[in-house]
Amino acid sequence: MILDENLSWKLHILNVCRKISMSIGIIYKSSFCLSAACLRTLYFSLVCHYLIYCTTVWGSSYETNLNNVITLQKKIMRIVSKVSFDAHTDIIFKEQHILKFNDIYRFQAAKFMLLFLKGLLLNTFRDKFALTNRINPYNTRNSSFNTEQTFDDFQYVFNVPQFFILLVEKFSIVRILVCLVKC
């Protein structure tokens, strides 16, 4: 993780893009002699871990910062699927059963919030979050669906969709995670 003074994550994202770009070269050169299944395995071994590692933290960066990551992931998916450089990637992601970067971020954030709501986070994080309705006594719109995190002068707000709250109340953690992966 590379931190900058503004927590924009620009330096970290540039570093991730640099590493993914090197992997694109390897996957592209391998695409002439390997099957699509082997290229998919290369994607998971060379690229996917860069997209998953601490995504909950840096995945909420500005869209302009994340565009390069998203573009590189699409480029890799075109190489893995052996389609033309201008093919639409929505179909490719579905056929390969691979999450797009934005979906990876949403999944990681949802998993983190699930652990928070179930009280399964480490003690370090447990004290840093509180539901908005526990902080604000007023009955405001969506008051029970936000979580606030405060570190000194910074305040981060995570929106938890209503359906997620209902899932937590009715189902076990394993069933919820399986449902999130299938979506």
Q: Which has the closest alpha carbon to 46: 69, 12, 23, 25?
A: 23
What are the per-10-residue average pLDDT scores of the chain (183 residues)? Answer: 78 93 94 93 93 86 90 94 89 90 86 78 70 60 50 43 53 56 52
**pLDDT at residue 111, rounded to an integer:** 82
**pLDDT at residue 168, rounded to an integer:** 56
Judge whether 78 and 92 are in contact, CB under 8 Å: yes
Which amino acid type is present at position 153? D
**pLDDT at residue 181, rounded to an integer:** 54
**pLDDT at residue 170, rounded to an integer:** 56
Helices (H), the chain: 10-30, 36-46, 48-52, 55-58, 63-81, 89-96, 101-117, 123-126, 132-135, 162-170, 173-182
Judge whether 80 and 95 are in contact, CB under 8 Å: no
pTM here is 0.72
CA 34 – CA 168 distance, rounded (Å) = 43
**pLDDT at residue 166, rounded to an integer:** 53
The kind and range of the H/E element at 164 are: helix 162-170
